Structure 1
Amino acid sequence: MVDNRDSLKRRLKAARDRQGLDKPEAGQGGLPNSAWGFGLRAGVEVVSALVVGVGLGFMLDRWLGTWPWLFLVFFVLGAAAGVLNVYRLFNPRSGARKG
């Protein structure tokens, strides 16, 4: 009888893992649980994408002498990447289709 319960528990856990129903343990990089967590993560996503875009554009402009054109292009690309990251934050299953 104990063996049947253990087998059932293992099968249920495997099914829940496949469906993604179990919440991730603390520290595993899951979604934030509070409004402050979402806001902070969304802000960090946007700012970090902008910093990378502006930094790349600035360095390429200095290297190629094309100021301010690459700076502006990479600023727009960084802003678009930041918005896309925030969109993915609020719609986590939109890109993860399992067949």
Structure 2
Amino acid sequence: MDERDGFEDRLRQARAREGLDRRPDGHGQLPQGPWGIGLRAGVEVVSALVVGIGLGFLLDRWLGTWPWLFLVFFVLGSVAGVLNVYRLFNPRSRPGVK
């Protein structure tokens, strides 16, 4: 077991020396302040809705099934947006939080 601990120490030192342990600034963290959090939550919802509506509209035009796929993908986009906001505020869904 002592051999493994020595390896872990050498590995940790090598990673620190090469800069592999540092995370990019702000990457993977929640935005700071109420404006940052609100903006991110809004962007999450709107982007999911835009993608859902766009896919539904395009598939409906291609397959000639207006408005059924548009409605289905609108609902799926809405659910995806709400789920993204839930993940944003749920601390258990972020890496490194237990």
Deviations 1:17-69 (A, max 9, x none): xxxxxxx6633231111100000000000000000000000000000000000
**Match for residue 19 of structure 2?**
none
Aligned identity (percent) is 77
CA distance in 1, matches of 2:71, 2:24: 41
SS at match of 1:93: helix
**Match for residue 77 of structure 1?**
76
**Match for residue 29 of structure 1?**
28
**Match for residue 37 of structure 2?**
38
- The answer to whether residue 96 in structure 2 is matched with residue 93 in structure 1 is no
TM-score w.r.t. length of structure 1: 0.69
**Structure 2 letter corresponding to 1:86:** V
**Match for residue 59 of structure 1?**
58
CA distance in 2, matches of 1:48, 1:61: 20
Runs of at least 5 residues in structure 2 that lack an aligned partner in the other structure = 1-8, 13-22
Query: Once superposed, which parts of structure 1, at least 4 consecutive aligned residues long, lie more than 3 Å away?
Result: 94-98
TM-score w.r.t. length of structure 2: 0.69
CA distance in 2, matches of 1:97, 1:31: 13
SS at match of 2:92: coil
Q: CA, structure 1 residues 95+31, in 2 after alignment: closer, same or farther (shift >3 Å)?
A: closer
CA distance in 2, matches of 1:92, 1:61: 38
